[in-house]
């Protein structure tokens, strides 16, 4: 009986011990789980940090590549823009030059008509009333023609008394002059014209050789005459 009671007591103690041990086991399991979770979390954080570093490094490399591409495209744009601007200026300049050439060609063809008008005005001296009326009508046409040329930018050169300039004038004759110094224009043989500051037609002119040239020429002729006289005298003495 007593043995049975003692066995029961032992059984109860075993049960109690068994009841107490699961709580300790559970606590240990929970601690282990927490520790595992922390390790896992740390591993995950390490992985995430590495991935973040790799992502930042990739983004920096990509950003650097994009900046280089942007700089390249910017330089290409600047070059293309400069080339287009130069092309536009060159086209505009070529068009202006072509326009000037066409206008110059047309106006140059009209200038001989102006020359004929001026020659006729200098030569004609109307005396009768009918001739004077015709002359006035003729002068009206001449003035209209000159006005049209002025509107197109044509202006006559004023050359008499000016220094001879091969870029503006064409010397047809050279002669001694007491009035004008050497290389000054004595007379205008054919009028020259400008077109917007550029030479449309060179002026045909007579240029002075200066007074010294004339004196030298006279001395040479005088020497020749004296030599001729001397030779005649010597010939007569021999005879």
Q: How many helices (H) and strands (E) does the chain have?
A: 3, 6
**Which contacts qualify for 185-191: CB closer than 8 Å, 24 or more apart?**
185/159, 185/160, 185/161, 186/160, 187/160, 188/159, 188/160, 190/115, 191/115, 191/118, 191/156, 191/157
pLDDT attached to residue 201: 92
pLDDT digit of tens for each residue in the chain (239 aa)?
444 544 555 555 555 444 444 555 556 666 666 666 666 666 666 667 777 777 887 888 888 888 888 889 989 999 999 999 999 999 998 888 888 888 888 888 989 988 888 888 777 777 777 777 877 887 888 888 889 889 988 999 999 989 999 999 999 999 998 888 898 999 999 999 998 888 999 999 999 998 864 444 444 444 554 555 454 444 444 43
pLDDT attached to residue 141: 86
pLDDT attached to residue 16: 46
pLDDT attached to residue 214: 44
Residue 26 tokens read as: 């559970």
Contacts of residue 189, defined as CB under 8 A and 6 or more positions apart, other chains included, come to: 172, 173, 204, 205, 206
pLDDT attached to residue 56: 82
Strands (DSSP E) along the chain, which ranges?
154-156, 169-175, 185-190, 193-195, 198-201, 203-208
């Amino acid at each position: 009986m007593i043995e049975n009671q003692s066995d029961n007591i032992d059984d109860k103690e075993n049960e109690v011990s068994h009841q107490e041990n699961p709580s300790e086991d559970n606590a240990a399991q929970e601690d282990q789980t927490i520790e595992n979770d922390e390790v896992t979390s740390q591993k995950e954080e390490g992985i995430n940090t590495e991935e973040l570093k790799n992502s930042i490094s990739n983004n920096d490399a990509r950003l650097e590549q994009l900046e280089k591409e942007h700089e390249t495209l910017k330089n290409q744009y600047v070059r293309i823009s400069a080339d287009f601007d130069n092309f536009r200026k060159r086209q505009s300049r070529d068009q202006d030059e072509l326009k000037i050439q066409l206008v110059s060609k047309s106006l140059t063809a009209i200038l001989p008509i102006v020359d004929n008008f001026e020659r006729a005005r200098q030569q004609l001296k109307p005396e009768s009333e009918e001739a004077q009326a015709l002359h006035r009508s003729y002068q009206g046409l001449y003035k209209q023609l000159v006005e049209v040329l002025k509107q197109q930018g044509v202006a006559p050169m004023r050359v008499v008394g000016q220094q001879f300039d091969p870029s503006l004038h064409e010397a047809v004759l050279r002669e001694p002059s007491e009035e004008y110094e050497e290389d000054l224009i004595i007379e205008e043989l054919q009028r020259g014209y400008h077109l917007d500051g550029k030479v449309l037609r060179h002026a045909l002119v007579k240029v002075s050789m200066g007074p010294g040239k004339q004196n030298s020429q006279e001395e040479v002729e005088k020497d020749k005459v004296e030599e001729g006289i001397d030779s005649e005298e010597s010939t007569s003495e021999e005879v």
